[in-house]
Every structure is written in structure tokens, then in C-alpha cells.
Amino acid sequence: MLKLSQIPYFLIATLMGISFVKTANAESTAKLSIVVNGIRHQKGEICFRVFGGEKGFPMSSTSEVQSGCAKITGTSVTKEFSGLKPGTYAVAVVDDQNGDRKLNKDFFGIPTEGFGLSKNPTVSIQTGTPKFRDASFVMNKNTTVNIVMKYSLDS
């Protein structure tokens, strides 16, 4: 049984214990730097989508966790996304020449603008659109991903 004089010490100890538990359970976040190389145009912007799951990858924003665009200033563009929790991600980029912030395709579904995916998987008529697992990577600390822009399908 606590004495009346011990109650303030007990309350302080309990509150301090709770604050340490919250600190220990706080999930760390990381920064993702995406470097896109091989840009052919000097106008428009590169649009980025960071996906946290396979649903909608790479065309829809269904599992998109962050996105944004960067003005093209040369043959390479870098964009950073911060506050990402540890997990598995994939990135899709588009060389958006007409400002609609999406990948334009022709009648047959072949891209008419530059595009790229993390891990640079093969994209051809035979392989089709890569799956999330083909482009995903595990991120639990600050990470840099290099993407090579493609302006045609792989042979």
C-alpha cells in the first residue's frame, strides 16, 4: 500500500515510464533519393511516383505513397522524398513533355513519352508491363535509386 507522501513519486515514475515507451516505439523514417539519367529533352518535367505496394503499379496512384515532379534542367534529374517508413517500395517516372503528368501511349499501348522504373527491369512486348516485384526494393535507411530513362521498348 502506498503512503500518501509516496503518491507524487509514483505518478512521476509512471509518467516517465510511459514517455520512454512512446519514444522506443517511434518508427524511424528515411529519405529516398531518386536519380534519373538519360533524359533526352530539355523541356517539360520528370514526374515521380513512389509506390508502397503492387496495387495499381506502375500506372495508377492506388498504392502511391508520395509523388511529385521536377523541372528538367539537363540529362539527369534528382528528386528526394522524405518521411518514408521502412518497407518495400518501387518507383515509376515519366518524361512528361505535355504537362498532363501521366505516361501517354499510342493506339497499341506503346509509350510515346520517356519512362523508367526502379531496378530498370526489361519492358518489351514479350514481357509486358513489369510487376511491382520486378521493380521493388527494401528501404530501411536513407536510400538512393538510379533509374535510366527509356524512350522505346526493349527488344
| Confidence (pLDDT) at 52 | 96
Q: Is 16 helix (H, G, I), strand (E, B) or coil?
A: helix
Q: Is 28 helix (H, G, I), strand (E, B) or coil?
A: coil
Which parts of the chain fold into alpha helices (H)? 7-25, 132-135
pLDDT class of 11 with cuts at 50, 70, 90: very low
Residue with more model confidence, 62 or 118? 118
Measured between alpha carbons, how far is 15 from 8 in angstroms, rounded to an integer? 11
Measured between alpha carbons, how far is 77 from 84 in angstroms, rounded to an integer? 20
Q: Is 40 helix (H, G, I), strand (E, B) or coil?
A: coil
| Confidence (pLDDT) at 62 | 84
Residue 3 above 70 pLDDT? no
| Confidence (pLDDT) at 155 | 65
* 67-83: average pLDDT: 96
